[in-house]
Amino acid sequence: MHLSNLKTKFIGRNIVHYQVVTSTMSVAKQLVKDDATEGTVIIADEQTEGRGRLGRTWIAPPASNLLISIILYPKLAQLSQLNMVAALSVSQAVEKVTELSSSIKWPNDILIRGKKVSGILIENILEGREVKASIVGIGINVNFFPDLDITPTPTSLSGECGKELSREMVLQCFLEEFEHLYKLLDTGQIVYEKWLARVETLGKTIRVKWNDRIEVGCAESIEPDGTLIMRCPDGSIRRVVAGEVTLQV
């Protein structure tokens, strides 16, 4: 995949493109062991074991969608906001290429008209108690979406804007947004506020699934580290941490 006019300094300056891999996440982990530079992007046309959040699978036919992982070496304090950078940059890129507005379902699903066009999976590589690297995995349904009866309903960029789109164009736009926001992380607050402004979950009644227990409440607020504060019908508060639960809206 060739990006002729990429305006970034380090994100996507090194792109490793495969036809078929198990998962770009696994390839990225191997490249971290080989000391890959920050911003290295792994792209696959096809994954045989593509993975989603909470142990789910991620499906895309060959060369239809964007399947990417980015290798980062963030500071510890930046880790909790990495998913905000990722979700916000996808959401902004999606708006630029489709001219349709896009929102974020907490913690990091990207939606158009309430349907999911993209998901994010972050895996951290630990060395003792330190985080050695973070792998940010992004799947964007550019020209295909799986016809699954799940919430939120899947869709694709082409399905929403009525024409096929070039994966290169979406990728370039996304990488530029991503670098811009990742650099802003040093200032912390700005990314959180921009992300929060797009989160459509706030104020809604939500159903939180903790293993096999479901609790209903109102999504009252979200803290700068991404923790969602849910108000239960009896007035009590639950702190909901991304990665532990499924949100059923």
Write out the residues near ligand BTN by the rule CB under 6 A: 23-25, 47, 50-53, 56, 58, 67-69, 109, 119-121, 137-139
Quote the least distance from Cβ 176 to ligand BTN, whole Å.
Answer: 19
Q: Sign of torsion, CA 11 244 118 108? A: negative
C-alpha to C-alpha distance for 85 and 182, rounded to whole angstroms: 6
Distance of CA 190 to the CA centre of its chain: 18
Q: Sign of torsion, CA 57 63 67 69? A: positive
Nearer to ligand BTN, 29 or 97 (CB): 29
Quote the least distance from Cβ 24 to ligand BTN, whole Å.
Answer: 4
Report the 10 Å Cβ neighbour count for 229.
16
Quote the least distance from Cβ 49 to ligand BTN, whole Å.
Answer: 7
Nearer to ligand BTN, 67 or 173 (CB): 67
Nearer to ligand BTN, 115 or 231 (CB): 115
Quote the least distance from Cβ 226 to ligand BTN, whole Å.
Answer: 15
Tokens of 64: 């239809």
Nearer to ligand BTN, 122 or 191 (CB): 122
CB within 8 A of 56, min separation 6: which ones? Answer: none
Report the 10 Å Cβ neighbour count for 40.
21
Quote the least distance from Cβ 195 to ligand BTN, whole Å.
Answer: 16
Nearer to ligand BTN, 11 or 237 (CB): 11
C-alpha to C-alpha distance for 224 and 210, rounded to whole angstroms: 22
Distance of CA 176 to the CA centre of its chain: 15
Chain residue whose CB lies nearest ligand BTN: 119
Among residues 49, 44, 229, 20, the alpha carbon closest in space to that of 138 is found at 44
Quote the least distance from Cβ 237 to ligand BTN, whole Å.
Answer: 27
Nearer to ligand BTN, 38 or 123 (CB): 123
